[in-house]
Copies of this chain bind each other. A is one copy, B any other.
Amino acid sequence: MKYRFSKSLEGFSSSAVREILKLTQGSSIISFAGGLPAEEFFPLDAVSEAFKRVTEGGKSALQYGLTEGYKPLRETLCRRMAAKNMHVTPDEMLLTTGSQQVIDLLTRVYIDEGDVILVERPTYLAALQVFQAKGAKIYSVDSDSDGMILSDLQAKIAKYNPKLIYVIPTFSNPAGRVWSVERRQGVLELCQAAEVLILEDDPYGEIQFHGDETYPTIFSLAGAPTGSGVIYTSTFSKTVAPAFRTGWAIADQEIIRQMARFKQSADLHSSSIDQQTLYHLLEHFDLDAHIELIRANYRERMEYMTGLLEELNWPGLKWEKPKGGMFIWVELPEAIKAEDLLKIAVQEGVAFVPGSTFYAENPKYNTMRLNYTHTNRETTARGMQMLAKAMESYLQNV
Q: Which residues of A contact B (CB under 8 A)?
A: 1-9, 12, 25, 34, 36-37, 39-40, 42, 44, 47-48, 51-52, 55, 58-66, 96-98, 100-101, 104, 108-112, 115, 126, 129-130, 133, 163, 192, 195, 197, 227-229, 237, 241-245, 252, 254-255, 258, 261-262, 264-274, 276-277
Contact = CB atoms under 8 A, between A and B. Distances in A.
Contact of A271 (B1, B8, B59, B270): B270
Taken together, the copies of this chain in the complex come to 2
A104 B6 contact: no
B245 A9 contact: no
A266 B4 contact: no
B64 A42 contact: no
Contact of A62 (B42, B65, B268): B42
Given A55-B47, A97-B270, A195 B109 contact: no
30 contacts: A1-B227, A3-B252, A3-B254, A3-B255, A6-B110, A6-B115, A12-B261, A25-B66, A34-B64, A37-B63, A44-B59, A44-B61, A47-B55, A51-B55, A64-B237, A98-B268, A100-B268, A101-B266, A101-B267, A104-B265, A130-B265, A133-B265, A243-B272, A243-B276, A244-B273, A245-B267, A245-B268, A271-B271, A271-B273, A271-B274
A223 to B, nearest CB: 12
Nearest to A130: B265
Contacts of A4: 110, 163, 195, 197
A109 B5 contact: yes
Contacts of A63: 36-37, 39, 42, 241-243
Contacts of A115: 6
Contacts of A242: 62-64
A62 B245 contact: no
B6 A109 contact: yes
A108 B8 contact: yes
A128 B167 CA distance: 34
A143 to B, nearest CB: 23
A122 B112 CA distance: 31
A193 B370 CA distance: 52
Contacts of A276: 243
Nearest to A131: B265
A38 to B, nearest CB: 9
A101 B264 CA distance: 10
Contact of A39 (B1, B60, B110, B192): B60
Given A51-B51, A97-B267, A111 B39 contact: no
A323 to B, nearest CB: 24
